[in-house]
Amino acid sequence: MSSALAHETPVRDSVLSLTGVTKRFGAVQALTDVHLDVAPGEVVALVGDNGAGKSTLVKIICGVYQPDQGQISLDGAQVSVGGPRQAQHLGIATVFQDLALCDNLDVVANLFLGQEHHRSYLLNEIQMETEAWRLLRSLSAKIPSVRIPIAGLSGGQRQTVAIARSLVGKPKVVLLDEPTAALGVAQTAEVLNLVERLREQGLGVILVSHNMADVQAVADRICVLRLGRNAAEFRVEDATTEQLVAAITGASDNVVSARMSRKDGDGNV
């Protein structure tokens, strides 16, 4: 079992690297010296209890918040992410839990909302529809038509559209915030397949989730945050659910656990 902290085991050739990221909101210390690395074609799960700092870290990566200290690097070059639009320009795409889709618009309109293709001052519907099908096929998506209004799609299909929209700008890193929340078994499997398609395309993926079964099904590494700090890091093949829960809750940090771990085979400390 490997539980080295993230900054002790940096990933080679990381597409995204965070070093020493710290964030405070008034008297509240949200993040302290957080490190995170994501390689191309790797799915890194970010897990932790409520208040662990996951949402704050995601918002720093996508430019909603600015860190008080620390560095963010893309492809080895230090960058400053001044806002969500700049993050998108740099190649960081984020799919938030609420998806931010327009129910009254069809799939094509949602995919290209705010970044429509034009020809002679008119919308190039043919080009956008062709590109929409290309994006959906690259994800092996199960959507019968790109002209269906979002309101007529299932939860899994909506998540598919949101993920496909994140690929319009050809990102290097995709952040998925609780992508399987409130989905049924079949829809969850559909979304996890999408995550695997992103990995196959060579993208770095950060998966934020409370569902340990989902995390262990698709992640390559699991980074645990606790109380705004790096608590542990696991290769997914080395981690059991019990070890993950212990790292998330801090059970492995209590006095009794520490004492037990120091005992030898004869029960002596």
**pLDDT at position 117, please?**
77
H or E element, residue 206: strand 204-208
Low-confidence stretches of the chain (pLDDT < 50) are 1-2, 4, 6-10, 255-265, 269
**CA–CA gap between residue 203 and residue 42 (Å, rounded):** 7
**pLDDT at position 258, please?**
45
Superfamily per CATH, domain 6-91+171-261: P-loop containing nucleotide triphosphate hydrolases (3.40.50.300)
**pLDDT at position 256, please?**
39
**pLDDT at position 252, please?**
62
Could you tell me if 192 and 217 are in contact, meaning their C-beta atoms sit under 8 angstroms apart? yes
Contacts of 185 (CB under 8 A, 6+ apart): none
Give the SS3 label for residue 110. helix
Could you tell me if 222 and 233 are in contact, meaning their C-beta atoms sit under 8 angstroms apart? yes
pTM of this structure: 0.85
Alpha helix (H) residue ranges in the chain = 54-61, 84-90, 107-111, 125-138, 155-166, 185-200, 212-218, 241-249, 255-261
Domains of the chain, by residue range, sit at 6-91+171-261, 103-169
**pLDDT at position 269, please?**
45
